[in-house]
């Protein structure tokens, strides 16, 4: 990663954005396929010019793909992580289609910080496993009020089934063997990526604040896709089901 001094340039922020994507792909080799299906469902259900909430947006990976595919879309990214938000804000600086909001999804009043009272689509990926099931169910209830009637919520995350322990173990062993080979070839894992961020003159301070907020990693839950779909229906979505899955991950859609 190129070091910066003083203010980072647009190229520096884009390099950090791409570095984050590569690090995430080390864990999720089918990450782009998840994004593709997610945006397919957005287009199918709410059209090619949606107002989108990028929930727990991180560096803005979803927003990046959203705007490349749908130039007339608008996006609100919401997150609490100061380092990832710094990258997102730097990457999309000057783009009037994009707004970023700092908010804690566990705060009952977090939606008050949003610029819109409703959204065509709320999208999130590899993020809500940071929440335990109780707060996540409460969040789903809030989203049912935030997504307009006919709008969609899509959550892509690790959603293992508790009914298949041997399949789960075999899949995990196979996936981690591939990850070990990639790491031996130079791929950055999560910890190594954050060590680079902490050493960067521009990201060092927000990275320190980020670890003061979260510690090493939040201890959330990974309920099954069936749990997510059932809870979305219980919280006010008219329909909900998985629309894509891999051996380890699922993409669950809720329709208002």
pLDDT value at 114 more than 50: yes
Cα–Cα distance between 70 and 50 in angstroms, integer? Answer: 8
Cα–Cα distance between 243 and 215 in angstroms, integer? Answer: 33
DSSP of 181-209, one letter per residue?
Answer: HHHHTT---HHHHHHHHHHSTTTHHHHHH
Three-class SS of residue 244?
strand
pLDDT score recorded for residue 215: 82
Do strands 147-158 and 249-255 pair parallel, antiparallel, or not at all (unpaired)? antiparallel
For residue 8, what pLDDT band results from cuts at 50, 70 and 90?
confident
pLDDT score recorded for residue 91: 96
pLDDT value at 6 more than 60: no
pLDDT score recorded for residue 2: 39
Third-level CATH fold of 13-255: Rossmann fold (3.40.50)
Where are the chain's structural domains?
13-255
Mean pLDDT of 75-82: 98
Mean pLDDT of 35-58: 98
Cβ-proximal residues to 154 (8 Å cutoff; 6+ apart), any chain? 38, 41, 42, 121, 122, 123, 124, 243, 251, 252, 253, 254
pLDDT score recorded for residue 9: 80
Both tokens of 244, joined, read 């894509």
Structure confidence by residue, pLDDT tens digits, 230-239: 999 999 999 9
């Amino acid at each position: 990663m190129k070091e910066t001094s003083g203010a980072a340039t647009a190229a520096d922020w884009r390099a950090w954005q791409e570095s984050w994507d590569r690090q995430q792909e080390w864990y999720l080799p089918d990450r782009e396929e998840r994004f593709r299906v997610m945006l397919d469902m957005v287009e199918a259900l709410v059209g090619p010019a949606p107002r989108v909430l990028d929930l727990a947006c991180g560096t803005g990976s979803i927003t990046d793909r959203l705007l490349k595919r749908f130039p007339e879309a608008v996006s609100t990214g919401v997150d609490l992580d100061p380092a990832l938000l710094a990258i997102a804000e730097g990457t999309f600086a000057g783009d009037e289609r994009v707004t970023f909001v700092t908010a804690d999804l566990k705060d009952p009043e977090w939606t008050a910080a949003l610029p819109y009272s409703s959204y065509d689509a709320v999208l999130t990926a590899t993020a809500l496993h940071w929440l335990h099931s109780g707060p996540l169910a409460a969040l789903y209830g809030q989203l049912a009020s935030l997504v307009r009637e006919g709008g969609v919520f899509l959550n892509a995350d690790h959603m293992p089934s508790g009914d298949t322990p041997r399949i789960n173990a075999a899949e995990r062993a196979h996936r981690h063997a591939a990850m070990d080979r990639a790491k031996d070839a130079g791929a950055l894992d999560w910890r190594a990526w954050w060590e680079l961020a902490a050493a960067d003159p521009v990201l060092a301070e927000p990275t320190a604040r980020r670890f003061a907020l979260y510690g090493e990693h939040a201890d959330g839950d990974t309920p099954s896709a069936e749990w997510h779909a059932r809870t979305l229906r219980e919280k006010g979505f008219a329909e909900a089901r998985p629309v894509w899955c891999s051996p380890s991950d699922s993409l669950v859609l809720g329709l208002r």
